[in-house]
């Protein structure tokens, strides 16, 4: 248990339940401390938020040590998984990338999925498709695929190299403003300028709290920072878009940045919707395979006759709003973006940086985008995804920049509270358990329900679960058991979990939703472990479903002798619920219907962080179905509370599943999972 959590527990006596007088249990999960009544028939529960106590600025040694450790761990995870030979290559139809078709030799137990990043020789590409010995990879125009070479899985190291160079070498001379968050020797942060008393003339139909947030952003003086805390569906993207458009209109340059492509694309798409004429002033820098269709025309890269330096100079002169991931900014930093900016008289490069989904970004990594801007707008939700880090040491540099800023600068926090995403019976338990009642439900969505086509409602033993009048449904699967499967990625071997019974129920639900006319693009399946996602995907194909469903998982795999070392999925996997061919990715973070397979039949560490469950639940707009084999809720009081607040039903496989379906799922399990 974390030291701070132990300290907090010592301060509380268990006490007695205020409702029934029973004994209270205390459980720490992430940054919440849950107090629940041990009397199961009572159901009383409350939580307290506890943010990191590290004051800003943090010691520079803790930031550098964290980055060095993370870089070392990333470097050790690199390994060759096979070999390839190019048999065909051609430009993409939009002329933004190069597709190479490879004949490959890959070790039998290596898994390669669409959208995986793979090095071919020295060129980093994104997997599009694999069919037996043929692999199709897409490269951006700055990368040329070789004729032949090794295939390697590796974490890009430029992120850590860029952050280390900025903090150790560049910031002492050119980035005094970073002294607001990091103790840089012999450097003091610049004094704040006088705030601009600006009155924002809203032409975007914003509600009062969003209008106030945009006005605060546009009134920020140089070297100031503002934190926008917003639970799911409260309009952080709209705030970014309106503020960026207004800043561009007055001649400022804005950087839209996040760890994930979907966050960047959502903001840029909203910008284009607010002001369709602004497109010529907007640039998207990124890999074409990771960018939404609507934003692809905005992708900018050097022409064949243009050097990287000339391209960066052109972009800075012509564009006012630039969107990219932090990893891409790290590449540009190493290529000389700071020097180019200074040559153009643009230092810092941007007047504003909008750092979205900041709960996932460690302070040490946030130094890259913050270094490049005069004003910092840090947006996110402290109750959603935490930073994904490899090392276990609790250095200050590993903590979320959002949590650190919020705990150290509470006077600079602005909260959004009106959610316009989902039915209040889905968001109500989340609001009660995780947000202490701060959320308000907008009337336009508070009673939304799943719509079926003229084909009519499903008529089966699962029809109760699909009832549109029951937005939140919990299905107890009798006899469901999770099995551990061996997983190999490069030279690292670990495990992942799959539950055949839950997978079969999910398949039945998905099939009935589709037969009732619910569009594929309106359904997402979320699982706790990747093996469960692979099992469901493989079974759908085996049963002849002519489509690829949207399936995401929370954890890639687990390691350690006791399966207690968690390896979370890339945040893109759970936050980007898009198809490759989806034109409008506004729905990238949400779906009308979500089916969530908990997978595990007993307590496991993968279920122990409420924040990941919160993310899975709040993807749903009108319908959430939780499929669970859990036989005990020991140390998981929030999961029990959600179950208690759901419409519940219990099923057994014998009354639902045919022999053909069972044989199918068993064959897929044996093929994909090696126990």
How far apart CA 403 and CA 395 sit, in angstroms, is 14
Q: Which of 376, 40, 26 is nearest to 228 (CA)?
A: 376
Tokens of 576: 């980007």
Q: Where are the beta strands (DSSP E) in 571-635?
A: 591-597, 620-628
pLDDT at position 576: 53
Residue 10: CB atoms within 10 A of its CB come to 8
| Sign of torsion over alpha carbons 634, 636, 641, 644 | negative
- The DSSP result for 496-556, as a single string, is EEEEHHHHHHHHHHHHHHHHTT--GGGEEEEEEEHHHHHHHHHHHHHTT--S---EEEEEE
Q: Are residues 239 and 343 in the same domain?
A: yes
Q: Are residues 484 and 626 in the same domain?
A: yes
Task: Tell me, yes or no, whether 490 lies in a domain.
Answer: yes
Q: How many residues does the chain have?
A: 675
pLDDT at position 3: 40
pLDDT at position 639: 97
Q: Are residues 307 and 456 in the same domain?
A: no
Q: Are residues 382 and 253 in the same domain?
A: yes
Compute φ and ψ for 33, nearest 5 degrees: -115, 115
Q: Are residues 149 and 184 in the same domain?
A: no
Residue where a domain stops, chosen among 133, 156, 179 = 156
Q: Residue 485 is part of a domain; what is its CATH number?
A: 3.40.50.300
What is the C-alpha radius of gyration for the chain, rounded to an integer number of angstroms? 25
User: Helices H, strands E: what count in the chain?
Assistant: 19, 29
Element (H, E) at 271: helix 261-274
Q: Are residues 623 and 515 in the same domain?
A: yes
Task: Tell me, yes or no, whether 164 lies in a domain.
Answer: yes
Q: Where in the sequence is the domain holding 98, given as residue range(s)?
A: 78-156
Contact call for residues 311 and 304 (beta carbons, < 8 A): no
Task: Tell me, yes or no, whether 60 lies in a domain.
Answer: no
Task: Tell me, yes or no, whether 72 lies in a domain.
Answer: no
| Domain count of the fold of the chain | 4
Q: Are residues 508 and 460 in the same domain?
A: yes
Q: Residue 138 is part of a domain; what is its CATH number?
A: 2.40.30.20
Contact call for residues 79 and 153 (beta carbons, < 8 A): yes
Q: Are residues 169 and 131 in the same domain?
A: no
Q: Which of 49, 578, 26, 1 is nearest to 359 (CA)?
A: 49
How far apart CA 525 and CA 541 sit, in angstroms, is 15
Task: Tell me, yes or no, whether 70 lies in a domain.
Answer: no
Q: Are residues 303 and 249 in the same domain?
A: yes
Residue where a domain stops, chosen among 366, 398, 416 = 416
Q: Are residues 374 and 428 in the same domain?
A: no
pLDDT at position 530: 86
Q: Which of 564, 574, 582 is nearest to 619 (CA)?
A: 574
Residue where a domain stops, chosen among 400, 416, 432 = 416
pLDDT at position 574: 47
Compute φ and ψ for 287, nearest 5 degrees: -75, 130
How far apart CA 427 and CA 232 sit, in angstroms, is 9
Contact call for residues 419 and 439 (beta carbons, < 8 A): yes
Spans in the chain with pLDDT lower than 50? 1-6, 8-12, 574-575, 578-588
How far apart CA 258 and CA 524 sit, in angstroms, is 23
Contact call for residues 68 and 62 (beta carbons, < 8 A): no
pLDDT at position 586: 31
pLDDT at position 109: 64
Task: Tell me, yes or no, whether 514 lies in a domain.
Answer: yes
Q: Are residues 128 and 225 in the same domain?
A: no
Task: Tell me, yes or no, whether 73 lies in a domain.
Answer: no
Q: Are residues 277 and 358 in the same domain?
A: yes
pLDDT at position 429: 97
Task: Tell me, yes or no, whether 57 lies in a domain.
Answer: no
């Amino acid at each position: 248990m974390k030291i701070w959590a132990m300290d907090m527990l010592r301060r509380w006596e268990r006490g007695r339940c205020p409702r029934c007088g029973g004994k209270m249990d205390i459980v720490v999960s992430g940054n919440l401390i849950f107090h629940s009544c041990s009397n199961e028939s009572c159901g009383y529960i409350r939580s307290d938020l506890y943010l990191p106590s590290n004051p800003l600025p943090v010691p520079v040694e803790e930031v550098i040590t964290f980055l060095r450790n993370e870089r070392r761990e990333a470097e050790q995870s690199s390994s060759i998984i096979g070999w390839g030979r190019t048999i065909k290559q051609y430009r993409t139809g939009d002329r933004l990338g190069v597709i190479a078709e490879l004949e490959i030799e890959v070790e039998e137990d290596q898994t390669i999925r669409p959208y995986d990043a793979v090095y071919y020789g020295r060129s980093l590409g994104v997997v599009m498709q694999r069919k037996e010995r043929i692999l199709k990879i897409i490269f951006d125009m700055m990368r040329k695929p070789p004729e032949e070479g090794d295939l390697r899985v590796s974490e890009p190291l430029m992120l850590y190299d860029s952050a280390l160079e900025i903090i150790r070498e560049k910031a002492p001379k050119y980035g005094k403003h970073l002294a607001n968050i990091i103790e840089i020797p012999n450097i003091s942060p610049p004094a704040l300028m006088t705030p601009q008393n600006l009155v924002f003339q809203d032409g975007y139909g914003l509600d009062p709290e969003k209008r106030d947030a945009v006005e605060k952003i546009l009134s920020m003086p140089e070297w100031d920072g503002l934190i926008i805390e917003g639970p799911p569906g409260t309009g952080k993207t709209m705030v970014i878009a309106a503020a960026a458009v207004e800043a561009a209109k007055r001649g400022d340059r804005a950087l839209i940045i996040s760890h994930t492509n979907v966050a960047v694309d959502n903001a840029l798409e909203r910008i284009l919707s607010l002001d369709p004429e602004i497109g010529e002033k907007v640039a998207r820098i990124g890999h074409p395979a990771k960018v939404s269709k609507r934003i692809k025309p905005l992708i900018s890269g050097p022409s064949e006759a243009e050097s990287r330096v000339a391209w960066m100079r052109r972009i800075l002169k012509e564009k006012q709003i630039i969107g990219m991931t932090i990893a891409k900014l790290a590449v540009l930093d190493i290529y000389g973006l700071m020097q180019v900016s200074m040559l153009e008289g643009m230092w810092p490069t941007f007047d504003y940086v909008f750092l979205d989904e900041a709960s996932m970004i460690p302070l040490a990594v946030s130094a890259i985008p913050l270094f490049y801007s005069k004003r910092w707008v840090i947006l996110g939700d402290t109750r959603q995804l935490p930073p994904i880090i490899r090392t276990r040491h609790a250095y200050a540099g590993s903590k979320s920049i959002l949590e650190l800023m919020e705990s150290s600068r509470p006077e600079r926090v602005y909260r959004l509270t009106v959610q316009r995403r989902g039915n209040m019976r889905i968001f109500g338990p989340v609001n009660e358990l995780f947000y202490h009642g701060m959320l308000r439900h907008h009337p336009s969505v508070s009673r939304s329900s799943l719509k079926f086509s003229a084909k009519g409602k499903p008529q089966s033993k699962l029809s109760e679960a699909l009832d549109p009048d029951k937005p939140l449904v919990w299905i107890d699967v009798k006899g469901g058991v999770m099995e551990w499967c061996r997983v190999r990625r490069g030279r690292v071997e670990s495990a992942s979990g799959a539950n055949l019974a839950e997978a079969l129920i999910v398949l039945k639900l998905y099939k009935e939703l589709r037969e009732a006319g619910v569009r594929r693009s309106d359904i997402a399946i979320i699982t706790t472990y990747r093996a469960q996602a692979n099992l469901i995907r493989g079974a759908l194909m085996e049963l002849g479903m002519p489509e690829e469903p949207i399936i995401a998982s929370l954890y890639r795999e687990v390691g350690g002798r006791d399966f207690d070392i968690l390896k979370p999925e890339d945040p893109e996997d759970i936050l980007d619920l898009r198809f490759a061919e989806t034109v409008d990715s506004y729905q990238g973070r949400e779906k009308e219907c979500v089916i969530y397979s908990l997978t595990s039949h007993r307590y496991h560490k993968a279920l122990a962080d409420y924040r990941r469950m919160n993310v899975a639940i709040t993807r749903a707009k009108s319908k959430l179905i939780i499929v669970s084999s859990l036989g005990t809720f020991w140390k998981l009081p929030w999961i029990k509370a959600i179950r208690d607040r759901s419409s519940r039903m219990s099923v057994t496989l014998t009354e639902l599943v045919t022999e053909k379906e069972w044989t199918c799922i068993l064959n897929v399990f044996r093929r994909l999972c090696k126990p």
